[in-house]
């Protein structure tokens, strides 16, 4: 039994425990308690990096450091403290999850939650505070080298898919850092391009996914982008960071700079930047000693504070945000432990990959391949064997394993049939990024004619030809810091496909890319799969779809144009619209005008009556679906009311399958120009053969609104609207009118 004196001693200790260490207290109380104990130097120190991927805590008070990691598709390998060179760890090989274009193509909120939860577990196990992702920049041009990291062209789809991802990651006590806020829609000249866009377009197209991540997902950090807007770099942008993000949306988290995205101290202090990180030795230049003290929010900030040129109250707001981040993550005692490279994570990657694959075309039901009646399959193409997890920029990974498409096909077929491989074309034979080496020897000195001749001869005797090509993650393809130079496939792949199609009528083209590509051979090839960059389980996911283990249900999150000039940012061939025109003032900055306005993606194609190669929302199945007539529970609604739409969908085929039922809204008469239709709802339903499901959508006035820039508010004008139920943007099945009074 404890003595009275000893008990009194325990009580005294408990009574003096600092508020910030008491996890029963609200976070805001704990934040304020720490803040009043910190010195000026300690406050400044938490606002900038101390290494490539970390920033200081307050060691004296037991406040831990913040550790960040790329990226949105997997946990990046460890680098040295102050260099990009590999740290040489042997236990940092991760699971690569499918690229976010593939996740968006699932149109499945549950899979987005699974993705976020799984990658959050990997980040937590690796003791990371912040995951630098996901990315939700809008697909404005198919030339953007970083489109593969984003969630497509539609703000509603991206907003719906980002929220579960954020919640899944943060359920592990790891913060998401949703990026790249905002208007970072190309990689060419990304540090020097000043985007000129009207407020209506900004609010309707480029902000909704970020807004959803903040207001619905409750993301704990946001990454500001490299580009300029209103002639201010976005990392220090008054309108985007202070007025909108922290003002209108009441964001209480921390704003993190993209690496090297801050360019001067005064605006960094006043315009909303909270945590400065950098890409070079000191974020400014190479070779400076005492590097991180030279950051704009380091000693220059401290000097401004001590001289009275900067306000400590502004600094306190930054510090509060960083402390909230730490209390939500590192100082959350209820954080789960996480897990790494688990069987569950590989299963998640495989399922997401297979569900995101889009069956673009399937003439004569070439797919799925019936292995029982097949003797020989020919696989052609460099992308069938090339590792795709290495390269592409900051999302490059060191993986525990990567199943190639060829290996996935061979594993599935086993001894049931012969699987032959020929190269077909030679693209990028390198295999290294930032010190991670694939170890593949892809060198092949044969000419294009020799490679094509070999492939054609092999194709003559094959039951099926599977061509696996597309883009890769090399410069000027799907890669950070460079854009594509055109819409066409590289390495003369069109020649290979045309030659193969001429000698074998049971041909499947599997396109690996994060972008739309031109397909001049589309009428000559019976089956086409859009397979994205799928990560560790790529080969398994692709084989699952090719052989019918998984019935494809993916839908395109972006429009595939026939030619580049069909796309809105390229329709006029105007450099002012893309990639921007350099000013004559010696600043080396470019101005780029988003003159297409709100007409991005299918909004442009629909409204201008341009036929796409494959429409937004398009995706076929191995079964068929019949839509009934849509009905509404009322014919009109008030501004504060709602209408419920119902439509029956029946699986009329012989296989179980899933269909994405899409809702588009048309404003039949409006005081401003509006697109022909806009996505305002979707539901994915899985049905057995002969089964019928009733899909319901609830429409409120926000689904009918446009942004009135002059009044700076959302407006839903009274009038008649049409609700269109569709299987794709160009495949409306049923519609009904209703009135807003």
Q: What is the DSSP string of 504-524?
A: -SSEEEEEE-SS----TTTTT
* Confidence (pLDDT) at 411: 98
Instruction: Supply the residues annotated as catalytic.
Output: 258
* Confidence (pLDDT) at 12: 42
* Confidence (pLDDT) at 295: 92
Whether pTM > 0.85 for this model: the answer is yes
CA distances, 669 to each of 49, 418, 672 (Å): 53, 61, 9
Determine how β-strand 731-740 pairs with β-strand 636-637: parallel
What's 97's DSSP letter? P
> Under 8 Å CB-to-CB from 566, ≥6 apart: which residues?
605, 610, 612
Outline which parts of the chain fall under CATH 2.60.40.10.
623-740
**Taking the chain (741 residues) in consecutive chunks of 10 residues, what is each chunk's mean pLDDT?**
43 67 95 98 97 96 97 93 90 97 98 98 98 98 98 98 98 98 97 98 98 98 98 98 98 97 96 90 54 92 97 98 98 96 98 98 98 98 97 95 98 98 96 91 96 98 98 96 97 98 98 98 98 98 98 98 98 96 93 98 97 98 98 94 97 98 97 97 98 98 97 97 98 98 93
Reported in sequence order, the residue ranges of 40-118 that DSSP labels E, i.e. its strands, are 54-55, 66-69
Phi, psi of 636 (to 5 degrees): -150, 165
Q: Which residue has the tokens 């075309």?
A: 361
What's 606's DSSP letter? H
* Confidence (pLDDT) at 391: 94
Burial of 711 (0-12, 13-18, 19+ CB in 10 A): exposed
Say if CB 112 and CB 168 are below 8 A apart: yes
Alpha helix segments (H runs only) across 357-482: 405-413, 448-460
Alpha carbons 714 and 560: distance in angstroms, whole number: 31
* Confidence (pLDDT) at 291: 82
* Confidence (pLDDT) at 638: 92
Q: Kindly report, residue by residue over 409-446, the tens digit of the pLDDT.
A: 999 999 999 999 999 999 999 899 988 999 999 999 99
Say whether domain 623-740 belongs to CATH 2.60.40.10: yes
Class of domain 38-328: alpha beta
Alpha carbons 333 and 324: distance in angstroms, whole number: 14
Determine how β-strand 193-196 pairs with β-strand 228-229: parallel
* Confidence (pLDDT) at 289: 59
Alpha carbons 25 and 22: distance in angstroms, whole number: 6
Average pLDDT across the chain, whole number = 95
* Confidence (pLDDT) at 280: 62
Alpha helix segments (H runs only) across 586-647: 602-607
Outline which parts of the chain fall under CATH 3.40.50.1700.
357-546
Determine how β-strand 625-627 pairs with β-strand 590-593: unpaired
Which of these, 475, 500, 468, lies nearest to 396 by C-alpha position? Answer: 475
* Confidence (pLDDT) at 9: 41
* Confidence (pLDDT) at 82: 84
Class of domain 357-546: alpha beta
């Amino acid at each position: 039994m404890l003595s009275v004196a000893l008990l009194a001693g325990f009580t005294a200790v408990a009574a003096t425990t600092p508020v910030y260490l008491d996890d029963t207290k609200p976070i805001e109380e704990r934040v304020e308690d720490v803040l009043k104990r910190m010195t000026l130097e300690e406050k400044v120190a938490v606002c900038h990096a101390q290494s490539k991927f970390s920033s200081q805590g307050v060691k004296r008070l037991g406040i831990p450091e913040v550790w960040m990691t790329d990226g949105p598709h997997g946990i990046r390998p460890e680098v040295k403290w102050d260099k990009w060179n590999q740290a040489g760890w042997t236990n940092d090989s991760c699971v690569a999850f499918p690229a976010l274009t593939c996740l968006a193509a699932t149109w499945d909120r549950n899979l987005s939650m699974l993705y976020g939860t799984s990658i959050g577990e990997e980040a937590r196990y690796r003791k990371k505070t912040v995951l630098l992702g996901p990315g939700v920049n809008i697909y404005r041009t198919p030339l953007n080298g970083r489109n593969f990291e984003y969630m497509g062209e539609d703000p509603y789809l991206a907003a719906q898919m980002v929220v579960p991802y954020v919640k899944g990651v943060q359920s592990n006590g790891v913060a998401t850092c949703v990026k790249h806020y905002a208007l970072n829609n190309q990689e060419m000249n990304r540090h020097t391009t000043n985007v000129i866009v009207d407020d209506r377009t900004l609010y309707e197209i480029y902000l909704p996914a970020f807004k959803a991540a903040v207001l619905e997902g409750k993301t704990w950090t946001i990454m500001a982008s490299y580009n300029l807007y209103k002639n201010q770099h976005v990392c220090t942008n008054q309108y985007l960071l202070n007025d909108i993000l922290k003002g209108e949306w009441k964001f209480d988290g921390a704003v993190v700079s993209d690496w090297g995205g801050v360019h001067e101290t005064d605006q960094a202090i006043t315009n909303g930047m909270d945590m400065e990180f950098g890409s070079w030795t000191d974020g400014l230049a190479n070779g400076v000693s005492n590097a991180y003290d030279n950051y704009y929010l380091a000693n220059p900030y401290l000097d401004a504070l001590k001289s009275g040129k900067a306000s400590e109250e502004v600094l306190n707001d930054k510090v509060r945000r960083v402390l909230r981040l730490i209390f939500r993550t590192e100082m959350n005692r209820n954080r789960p432990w996480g897990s790494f490279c688990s069987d569950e994570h590989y299963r998640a990657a495989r399922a997401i990959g297979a569900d995101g694959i889009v069956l673009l075309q399937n003439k004569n039901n070439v797919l799925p391949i019936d292995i029982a009646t097949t003797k020989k399959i020919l696989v052609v193409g460099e992308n069938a064997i090339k590792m795709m997890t290495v390269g592409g920029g900051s999302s490059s990974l060191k993986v525990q394993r990567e199943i190639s498409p060829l290996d996935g096909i061979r594993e599935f077929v086993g001894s049931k049939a012969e699987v032959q491989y020929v190269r077909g074309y030679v693209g990028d034979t390198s295999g290294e990024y930032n010190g991670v080496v694939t170890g593949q020897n892809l060198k092949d000195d044969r000419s294009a004619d020799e490679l094509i001749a070999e492939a054609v001869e092999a194709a003559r005797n094959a039951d099926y030809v599977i061509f696996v090509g597309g883009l890769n993650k090399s410069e000027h393809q799907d890669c950070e810091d460079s854009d594509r130079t055109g819409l066409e496939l590289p390495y003369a792949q069109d020649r290979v496909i045309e030659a193969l199609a001429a000698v074998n009528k049971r041909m499947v083209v599997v396109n690996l890319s994060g972008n739309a590509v031109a397909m001049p051979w589309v009428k000559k090839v019976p089956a086409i799969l859009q397979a994205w960059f799928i990560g560790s389980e790529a080969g398994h996911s692709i084989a699952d779809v090719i052989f019918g283990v998984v019935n494809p249900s993916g839908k395109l999150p972006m429009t595939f144009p026939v030619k580049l000039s069909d796309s809105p940012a390229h329709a006029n061939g105007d450099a002012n619209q893309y990639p921007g025109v350099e000013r004559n003032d010696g600043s080396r900055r470019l101005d780029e005008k988003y003159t297409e306005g709100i007409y991005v993606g299918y909004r442009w194609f629909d409204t201008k009556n341009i036929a796409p190669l494959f429409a937004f929302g398009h995706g076929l199945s191995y079964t068929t679906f019949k839509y009934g007539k849509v009905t509404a529970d009322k014919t009109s609604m008030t501004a504060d009311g709602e209408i419920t739409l119902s439509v029956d969908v029946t699986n009329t085929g012989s296989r179980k399958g899933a269909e994405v039922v899409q809702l588009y809204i048309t404003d039949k008469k409006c005081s401003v120009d509006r697109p022909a239709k806009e996505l305002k709802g979707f539901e994915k339903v899985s049905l057995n053969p002969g089964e019928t499901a009733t899909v319901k959508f609830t429409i409120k006035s926000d689904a009918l609104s446009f942004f009135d820039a002059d009044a700076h508010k959302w407006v839903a004008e009274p009038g008649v609207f049409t609700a269109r139920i569709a299987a794709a943007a160009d495949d409306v099945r049923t519609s009904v009118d209703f009135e807003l009074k």
